[in-house]
């Protein structure tokens, strides 16, 4: 069965099935290039593809025979066909953990709850997926320096990928990030610059730098390479479905920072349906935010279709984007699929980190605490059905946010003797 | 009031390639009207059909996002810097 998703357009850049950039707001099209905003309406540019030549069963076999990383999905991504042979960090194919212990704690039916654990990526967050895409676009457009605005995880992913693929890197972060993320970003040898301000200030700075001669020749993975970069999040959707035996989950709980990941997971699921790789059936996408940075959750609950920016104040710094670029689309998707957007406070985030660690042996960073905490809240409020197959995302490693669980430590300190062991009540 | 406006790359076709231009106005709305008078077509890119800021445009007066201020009514003091920036970045 062939699937026609978009019309074809010619291009001289070899990025596989990608044919053009298309504005999500007004549909205006431009050739593939390092562009991110529509010249007509400022709307986000997205990749348009030609998947018309694909036969469903051949495509499924090709994917299943592919490498154990995101390049198994190369036919569905803006990358050249020989991408697996190029130096890159090759992320993905992370574990989909059957979370039966957590399910028992949350009152979810046995066998129905899964955690997609993206802490298993090369730099221990989902950001490796998107950066791997941006590397290929940077190569195609002949950039030599890679950059980004980052809440921490992305800075590390860019540093590592740049080192591996032979690019210079210079990345920008808020000056007050967690030490684990700062070290993780700096260790790869690129330049790491702290900006006196929050993430939205950093992002503004990068957007201005890109239009200045000082930033000429720089590929900002989440600015002028953003349309390519963002497609990496589709691979989460592809993997989840393939790991479920080419089935759609009924419900997904996804963290929201800019909202890009959630919108691309939805895009990935829609592509699988149109390509015939999964059955066409309803699914619900739930968004998760921290209360201290909850512009999308607030807008969802108020019934608004625009997002009013907030000044972030939460321990979930990887989600602390007060002015989320894809917020309006998250609202559209949550409403279209029958999902919701919910938030939890910092105390609930910490409790959820500990709950996931205690039940499943997964140490999540604060963003994982947000998704697990929100899952619990959604079940308690009846919005999430505990009898349906549900996938909760953990997008990063708890070792990066140790401060969030400070105070967790030794049960006891004893002398090296059996007597002392017994005295401490440990026998 | 004379202000300096930073123009994003995608609008520089309207300013002859200039990254910064001067404009007059006591409020952001007046500054945009003045921009339109000198660089015809630019206002329709920044404002929607109802005359509001498009949802994917961020505008800063000095360091302040005008959505936290008074939007198009935000005061633009003499010598202020106004930045027009695509919102679809980051994450």
- At A84-136, the pLDDT tens digits run 999 999 999 999 999 999 999 999 999 999 999 999 999 999 999 999 999 99
Structure tokens at A108: 């979810």
Element (H, E) at A29: strand A29-30
Residues 19-48 of A with CB under 8 A from B: 25, 35-45
User: What value does the CA radius of gyration of chain A take, rounded to a whole number of Å?
Assistant: 21
Residue numbers in chain A where pLDDT is lower than 50: 1-10
Tally Cβ neighbours within 10 Å of residue A198: 21
pTM for the predicted model, two decimal places: 0.94
Range 189-248 of A in CB contact (< 8 A) with B: 199-201, 203-204, 206-208, 210-212, 220, 222-223, 226, 230
What tokens appear for A91 in the block?
């992320």
Per-residue pLDDT at A2: 38
pLDDT band at B23 (very low <50, low <70, confident <90, very high): very high
Suggest the residue from A36, A207, A295 to mutate for an interface test with chain B (most B CBs closer than 10 A): A207
B1 CA to chain A: closest CA distance, Å? 24
Distance from CA of A131 to the nearest CA of B (A): 12
Short-list A131, A62, A43, A126, CA closest to A92: A126
- Contact at CB, A41 and B54, closer than 8 angstroms: yes
Which residues does residue A48 pair with via DSSP β-bridges, in sequence order? A20
Fold of B2-86: Ubiquitin-like (UB roll) (3.10.20)
User: Residue A162 corresponds to which tokens in the numbers above?
Assistant: 């740049």
> In chain B, which residue's Cα lies nearest the Cα of A172?
B90
Cα A411 to Cα A227: distance, rounded to the nearest angstrom:
48
Interchain pair A42, B86: CB under 8 A: yes
Put simply, the answer to whether B6 touches A211 (Cβ < 8 Å) is yes
Nearest to B56 among A43, A201, A204 (CB): A43
**SS3 helix, strand, coil % of chain B, rounded to 5?**
25, 30, 45
CB contact under 8 A, A226 and B57: no
Whether residue A257 and residue B57 make contact (CB cut-off 8 A), yes or no, is no
DSSP string for A212-249: SGGGTTEEETTTTTHHHHHGGGHHHHHHHHHHTTS---
Q: At what angle do helices A260-274 and A327-337 cross, to 10 degrees?
A: 50
Nearest to A124 by CA among A391, A394, A320, A374: A394
- Taking an 8 Å cut-off on Cβ atoms, the answer to whether A199 and B90 are in contact is yes
Across A287-321, b (16+ Cβ under 10 Å) vs e yields: bbbbbbbbbbbbbbeeeeeebebbebebbbbbbbb
Compute and round to an integer the Cα radius of gyration of chain B: 12
The contact set of B with A (CB < 8 A) is 6-10, 13, 19, 45-46, 54-58, 60, 63, 65, 67-68, 83, 85-91
Q: What domains sit in chain A, N to C, each tagged with a CATH number?
A: 95-124+231-405 (3.40.50.1100), 127-229 (3.40.50.1100)
| From A203, A259, A328, residue closest to B55, measured CB to CB | A328
| pLDDT computed for residue A232 by the predictor | 98
Q: Measuring CA to CA, how many Å separate A21 from each of A28, A142, A228, B91?
A: 8, 18, 10, 19
Give the closest-approach CA distance of A59 to chain B in angstroms: 31
More confident residue, A7 or B33: B33
Integer Cα distance of A148 and A159 in angstroms: 10
Domain boundaries, chain B: 2-86
Mean pLDDT, rounded, for B65-82: 95
Cβ-defined contact of A37 to B54 (cutoff 8 Å): no
* A315 in reach of chain B (CB within 8 A): no
ipTM score assigned to the predicted complex: 0.93
Give the distance from residue A210's alpha carbon to the nearest chain B alpha carbon, in angstroms: 8
pLDDT of residue B1: 82
Q: Would you give the distance in Å from CA A239 to the centre of its chain?
A: 13
């Amino acid at each position: 069965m062939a699937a026609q998703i978009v019309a074809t357009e010619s291009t001289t850049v070899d990025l596989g099935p990608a044919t053009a950039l298309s504005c999500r707001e007004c549909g205006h099209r431009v050739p593939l290039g390092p562009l991110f905003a529509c010249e007509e309406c400022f709307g986000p540019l997205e990749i348009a593809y030609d998947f018309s030549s694909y036969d469903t069963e051949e495509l499924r076999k090709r994917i299943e025979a592919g490498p154990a990383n995101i390049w198994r999905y190369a036919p569905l991504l803006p990358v050249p066909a020989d991408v697996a042979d190029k130096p890159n960090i090759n992320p993905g194919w992370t574990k989909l953990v059957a979370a039966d212990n957590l399910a028992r704690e949350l009152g979810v039916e046995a066998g129905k709850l899964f955690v997609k654990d993206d802490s298993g990526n090369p730099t221990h967050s989902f950001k490796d997926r998107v950066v791997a895409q941006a590397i290929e676009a940077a190569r195609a457009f002949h950039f030599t320096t890679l950059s980004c605005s980052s809440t921490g995880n992305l800075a590390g992913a860019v540093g590592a990928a740049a080192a591996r693929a032979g690019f210079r890197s210079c990345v920008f972060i808020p000056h007050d990030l967690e030490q684990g993320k700062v070290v993780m970003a700096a260790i790869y040898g690129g330049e790491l610059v702290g900006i006196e301000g929050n993430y939205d200030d950093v992002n503004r700075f990068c957007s201005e730098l890109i239009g200045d001669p000082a930033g000429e020749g720089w590929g900002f993975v989440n600015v002028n390479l953003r349309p390519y970069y963002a497609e990496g999040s589709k691979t989460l959707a592809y993997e989840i479905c393939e790991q479920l035996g080419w089935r759609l989950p009924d419900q997904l709980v996804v963290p929201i920072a800019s909202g890009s990941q959630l919108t691309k997971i939805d895009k990935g699921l829609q592509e699988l349906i149109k390509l015939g790789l999964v059955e066409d059936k309803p699914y619900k996408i739930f968004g998760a935010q921290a209360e201290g940075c909850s512009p999308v959750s607030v807008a969802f609950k108020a019934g608004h279709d625009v997002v009013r920016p907030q000044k972030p104040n939460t321990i979930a710094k990887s989600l602390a984007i007060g002015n989320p670029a894809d917020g309006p689309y998250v609202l559209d998707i949550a409403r279209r699929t029958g999902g919701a957007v919910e938030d939890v406070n910092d105390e609930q985030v910490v409790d959820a980190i500990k709950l996931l660690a205690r039940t499943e042996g997964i140490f999540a960073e604060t963003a994982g605490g947000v998704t697990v905490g929100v899952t619990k809240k959604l079940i308690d409020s009846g919005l999430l059905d505990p009898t349906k197959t549900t996938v909760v995302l953990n997008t990063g490693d708890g070792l990066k946010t140790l401060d969030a669980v400070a105070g967790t430590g030794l049960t006891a300190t004893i002398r090296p003797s059996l007597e002392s062991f017994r005295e401490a009540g440990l026998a | 009031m004379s202000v300096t406006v930073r123009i994003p790359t995608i609008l520089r076709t309207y300013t002859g390639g200039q990254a910064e231009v001067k404009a007059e106005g006591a409020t952001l709305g007046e500054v945009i009207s003045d921009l339109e008078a000198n660089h015809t077509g630019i206002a329709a890119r920044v404002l929607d059909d109802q005359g509001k800021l498009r949802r994917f445009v961020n505008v800063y007066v000095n360091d302040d996002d005008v959505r936290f201020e008074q939007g198009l009514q935000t005061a633009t003091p003499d010598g202020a810097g106004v930045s027009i920036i695509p919102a679809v970045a980051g994450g």
